[in-house]
Amino acid sequence: MNAGNRYTGLINRYRSHLPVTADTRIISLGEGNTPLIRLKNIPALIGKNVEIYVKYEGLNPTGSFKDRGMTMAVTKAVEEGSKAIICASTGNTSAAAAAYAARAGIKAFVLIPEGKIAMGKLAQAMMYGAITLQIRGNFDDGMELVKQVAAHAPVTIVNSVNPYRLQGQKTAAFEIVEELGRAPDYHCLPVGNAGNITAHWIGYCEYSTPVGETVTQSCSFCNGKCTFACEPVISNRPKMLGYQASGSAPFVRGGPVKNPETVATAIRIGNPQSYDQALKVMSESGGWFDELSDQEILDTQRLLAMSEGIFCEPASAASLGGAIRDIKSGKIAEGSVIVCTLTGNGLKDPDTAIGQCQSSVLKTIDATLDQVRDSILQSMGV
């Protein structure tokens, strides 16, 4: 059959920038190619002249950006003969690992913090058939255990310490550049383990080459495992801005946080695995880290949903919340082009969403015409 123009996932799209060969069996669920949506109403509300785009990664096959890294990590694990993968997770990595393992026909083991992952993510890991181990501990405890057990059992780690994960995730930067025809001035991301902000910077660096410099770049983050000859596509690179939840903000505190806590469970991480890499990203890009309270995160999640019709999970809202604050304060200048990554889909965490809206928009009434009509008239103020 003629392949036509059917989209078949990011490895096929970005083959020349990824560590695969013509013989590699690609494990894909059609990830990537997510919408870059320009916000219409929020810039007007802020009253500043800025272009804000959101990269809606919640529309990936398992509902988060993790699918970008997982297609690469599982493809390479299978190519290298692995029969099982393992990860620690705050929920999204486990969902993606479980799905891609199912697709590949290998086993997935996932370690998640008991009682601290969103309902949708738990449902995904279980439904895709991962062996799901709830630990009485947090993500950081799980990560240590995964690293230890991988030394004693034939399992491949698919957390972002696996360099192939970052290679897959860098493609989000490629897509943004191709759509905008340039890099944004600022790229804002929520930061947990710090793999994604590192991966985006790899992508922007690979797609840009200062005038007069050589066009061959190697990825300094993965010990030269992935080296590609690049064509310069853009001449600018963004400042990378990383936003954390106040109760889980090791980059803002300047070191590991012992008992991280936040409503944004996806980024409830006290000891990021890509700590040094992310510091390097900041110094190279001229960006910064900052923190948001849980209330600011939830307010932004709701603002985005109610004023733009875009539903992201709490952690994802940290990127936009941080951007809005920095635009208002002038730290981000007027006239800037800003991209905020919305890392995961709001449907992942229905409990938190319902919890914050229930009292204001949910009403229980009798099943009568009178009560329905009265509710409508009352809400419309007529």
Task: State yes or no: residue 34 binds ligand F0G (CB under 6 A).
Answer: no
Among the residue ranges 1-9, 244-252, 296-304, 311-319, the one whose residues contact ligand F0G (CB under 6 A): 311-319
Among residues 205 and 230, whose Cβ is nearest to ligand F0G? 205
Among residues 82 and 169, whose Cβ is nearest to ligand F0G? 169
| Position among 20, 73, 99, 267 found at the interface with ligand F0G (CB under 6 A) | 267
Tell the smallest beta-carbon distance from residue 76 to ligand F0G (Å): 18
Q: Which whole-number Å values give the CA distances from 273 to 25, 57, 165, 233, in the listed order?
A: 29, 22, 13, 30
Task: State yes or no: residue 352 binds ligand F0G (CB under 6 A).
Answer: no
Task: State yes or no: residue 67 binds ligand F0G (CB under 6 A).
Answer: no
| Position among 195, 247, 270, 322 found at the interface with ligand F0G (CB under 6 A) | 195
Among the residue ranges 47-55, 87-95, 100-108, 290-298, the one whose residues contact ligand F0G (CB under 6 A): 87-95
- How many positions of this chain bind ligand F0G (CB under 6 A)? 22
Instruction: Determine phi and psi for 216, rounding to 5 degrees.
Output: -95, 120
Q: Locate 134 and state its tokens.
A: 């709830």
Q: H/E element holding 244?
A: strand 239-245
| Position among 162, 343, 349, 352 found at the interface with ligand F0G (CB under 6 A) | 343
Interatomic CA distance for residues 105 and 112, integer angstroms:
22
Among residues 168 and 230, whose Cβ is nearest to ligand F0G? 168
Smallest CA-to-CA distance from 184 within 323, 13, 43 is with 323
Among residues 62 and 217, whose Cβ is nearest to ligand F0G? 62
Bridge-based pairing state of the strands 51-56 and 337-342? parallel
Tell the smallest beta-carbon distance from residue 245 to ligand F0G (Å): 10
The 3-state DSSP composition of the chain as helix, strand, coil percent (nearest 5) reads 45, 15, 40
| Position among 190, 238, 250, 260 found at the interface with ligand F0G (CB under 6 A) | 190
Interatomic CA distance for residues 343 and 98, integer angstroms:
18
Among residues 20 and 122, whose Cβ is nearest to ligand F0G? 122
Evaluate whether 240 touches 185 at the Cβ level (below 8 Å). Answer: no
Q: DSSP labels for 13-61?
A: HTGGGSS--TTPPP--SS-----EEE-SHHHHHHT---EEEEEEGGGST
Beta bridge partners of 289: 242
Task: State yes or no: residue 191 binds ligand F0G (CB under 6 A).
Answer: yes
| Position among 31, 185, 313, 349 found at the interface with ligand F0G (CB under 6 A) | 313
Task: State yes or no: residue 262 binds ligand F0G (CB under 6 A).
Answer: no
Q: Which residues contact 47 (CB under 8 A, 6 or more apart)?
A: none
Task: State yes or no: residue 281 binds ligand F0G (CB under 6 A).
Answer: no
Q: Locate 27 and state its tokens.
A: 């494990």
Interatomic CA distance for residues 114 and 119, integer angstroms:
11
Please report, as ranges, the residues that interact with ligand F0G according to CB under 6 A: 64, 66, 89-93, 160, 190-196, 266-267, 313, 315-316, 343-344
